[in-house]
Amino acid sequence: MLAKTCTTVVKFAVMSLFLAFLGSAAYAQVPAGPNRPAEVPEGYLITPAGYFHASCVRRLAEGETLLPDGVIRHVDGTLEKIAACEYPHYTARGEMVIAGANGGEPPKISHSWIEDIETENSTSYGEITATWIVPPAPTSNDGQTVFFFPGLEQFVGDLSILQPVLGWNADFGSAWGIASWNCCVMGTTVESSAASVNSGDTILGTIVSTCSAGTLTCSKWNITTNDVTSSKSVELANSPNSGQTFNWAFAAALEVYNVSQCSDYPSNGFINFTAVDLYDNSFNLIPSPAWGYSADASGLSPQCNYGGQIGTAEVTLDYGDLPPVITSASSTTFTVGTLGSFQVTATGVPAPTFSESGALPTGVMFSASGLLKGTPAAGTGGIYNFTISASNVVTTATQSFTLTVGQAPAITSANHTTFTVGTFGSFAVTATGFPAPTFTESGALPSGVAFTSLGVLLGTPAAGTGGIYTFTIIASNGVGPSATQSFTLTVDQPPAITSGNSKTFIIGIASSFQVTATGFPTPTITESGALPGGITLSPSGLLGVTAAAGTSGTYHITIIASNGVSPNATQSFTITVERASTACAIFTSSPLFIVGQPLTFTAYVTASPLVIGSPSGDVSFIDSTVSDEVLGKALLVGGAASIQAALTSPVKRQWILVEYPGDPSFKPCKSTAVVEDLE
């Protein structure tokens, strides 16, 4: 693997490449392929240090060790000096490095290091550990090689970098593998045995000094790459430091070859390095390293959403196509009859397109650009739950979305109802609108009746509350104007007769009696039974007017008050018809009499001036002195009658009076006597 330098150039030249591997393992470095730079000849191999001729790639057998002076120590203890490579090798960009060179201007390597998160100090580090998950495979295959790793390096004058590495299409064709690296001892890059791993496996990388605490420049290091999931582990033990002081740390780095499109990266678009712990050279955990993101791909193509995030003991590198993530809210509110819009937003590379599944209110549409827009039709108030999908070449993200369509209230029930006094009644006011409206009312209600916030008018109207009540019902739900309705409550009240139960009429005198009754509607008054002639009962309850002649007597009837509200009211009623009272008076032509000589006596029978008609019939003139002798009778004419009669009794003082026997219309009467004295 190539080291990163501050000037984006390698601080060393590569002489030859050695690969330590398990002899039985089925892996090999990947040929450069057709996507290699034009300057790289056919047959070269891809390595983490660039393109090498196959003869310059040396694999170490199990148990062999590369010593710091470029000598291989075999399992049997014999030593072998490695000859210099006779072919040039090439950087990731195709720049030639002369074979066997161990000095001179280093090649540029900015294309292989894409991005990293790093820090440095003025002393040195003693250990770094990090954990990451093997990402999914790339969705395209252009012969690319992708490396992820943490690492340690010297900040100035760097000659070596230590790395526990996860690689795609590196040791295993179109597959993931892990290896531990030390590049570059005496210009040689050294790889441990490689092990295949799977997407989703957890990788733990560790670089730790073997020296005692406080050692500034440790000469030997252990580099371990462990697949925690499968328990596979590869290690470079006691690997030399090439005289370097490791004061430059990488929490995460991305290095690539032959990436020609963003889909050449793992399809998830990012990688998280967690549990990133960095220790000083006394093995004290540094609580908050000053990690910083470094971008090395400026001006390169393709540009694949590179970026990084730094958290507490956790860092993230972004790259390649990114799966969509819906970032906008999961709900919005429209209003019936009003144009509304909501823009769904999502991250992702390439930019995702949108779709939805589920019912939308009439008048509202959802576009592929993620715009929810429209004017909800009348009656569509409510809650609409549907699923929004954001899709690109990587995957599809979904979001459960709630569209609330507010609808202003409208009262739909009748504007009137009828209750009855003493009987429980209820009426439910209904209204459209969303959210469901609440109700209030303004105006007087009859005692015993209430109106609830649910729109229910209910209760038992109290006695005497019959009538018409007009008030305003208001439906509100916070959407638009409240709905109002002028409402009429009619309270029916059964009739009750409140007037007296008898009446006396005088024949010939106009008179009336008003039957009264409570109740609503106003009761109608009728009767059953015979009424005296001249007397009638109107529907309004007026009993009268003038009893006819000859109708005197007692009449028993039943008065009925009805208004359509059960039960009818009845009353036993007595009508008494009496003859008109009369007054009798007598006048004489002289207060003195002579026996046998006639006198003129005049009688008057009168009645109230209110009486229609006058008394009729005969009156009797009576001498009441001794034995009520009838002196004579005379027919009343206009209430008066006269006779001439001679007094024959020798009694010096006599008393003469008149009696009226009455007729069918008038009562009898008797006058006081006039006194006649004998001359």
Q: 478-529, pLDDT tens digit by residue?
A: 998 999 999 999 999 999 999 999 999 999 999 999 999 999 999 999 999 9
Residue 660's CATH number: 2.60.40.1930
CA distances from 651 to 373, 593, 647 (A): 131, 11, 9
Same-domain status, 551 and 592:
no
pLDDT of residue 30: 63
Mapped onto helix, strand or coil, the DSSP state of residue 676 is strand
Same-domain status, 538 and 603:
no
pLDDT of residue 391: 96
pLDDT of residue 15: 31
pLDDT of residue 107: 29
Same-domain status, 142 and 168:
yes
What is the DSSP code (8-state) at residue 108? B
Same-domain status, 617 and 672:
yes
pLDDT of residue 382: 96
The alpha carbon dihedral of 89, 95, 98, 101 has a sign of negative
In-domain check, residue 598: yes
Backbone angles phi, psi at 510, to 5 degrees: -65, 130
The domain boundary residue, chosen from 289, 318, 347? 318
Mapped onto helix, strand or coil, the DSSP state of residue 64 is coil
pTM above 0.75, yes or no: no
The CA angle 123-128-133, to the nearest 5 degrees, is 150
Under the phi-then-psi rule, with left for phi > 0, alpha for psi from -120 to 50, and beta for the rest, what region is 128?
beta
Amino acid at 69: D
Contact 446, 475 (CB under 8 A): no
For tokens 């009268």, name the residue. Answer: 544
In-domain check, residue 1: no
Same-domain status, 596 and 645:
yes
In-domain check, residue 438: yes
Q: Please state the three-class secondary structure of 407-447 as a single string.
A: EEEEECCCCEEEEECCECEEEECCEEEECCCEEEEECCCCC
Same-domain status, 101 and 216:
yes
Same-domain status, 114 and 169:
yes
pLDDT of residue 103: 35
The domain boundary residue, chosen from 441, 456, 486? 486
**H or E element, residue 11:** none
In-domain check, residue 453: yes
In-domain check, residue 526: yes
Same-domain status, 74 and 216:
yes
Tally of CA atoms within 13 A in the half-sphere of 252 that contains its CB: 31
Token couple for 254: 């991305």
Cα–chain-centroid distance for residue 208?
57
Same-domain status, 220 and 262:
yes
Residue 441's CATH number: 2.60.40.10
Structural domain count of the chain: 5
Same-domain status, 44 and 162:
yes
Same-domain status, 39 and 61:
yes
CA distances from 229 to 144, 149, 203, 224 (A): 26, 18, 8, 15
For tokens 């002369």, name the residue. Answer: 98
Token couple for 519: 């109740």
Same-domain status, 44 and 172:
yes
Contact 622, 632 (CB under 8 A): no
pLDDT of residue 110: 32
Contact 152, 121 (CB under 8 A): no
Q: What pLDDT digit, counting tens, does each position of 610-625 carry?
A: 898 899 999 999 999 8
In-domain check, residue 376: yes
The domain boundary residue, chosen from 486, 511, 530? 486
| Burial class, 80, CB count within 10 angstroms (exposed 0-12 / middle 13-18 / buried 19+) | exposed
Residue ranges of the chain whose pLDDT lies below 50: 5-27, 99-111
Contact 520, 466 (CB under 8 A): yes
Structural domain for 329, as ranges: 324-408
In-domain check, residue 4: no
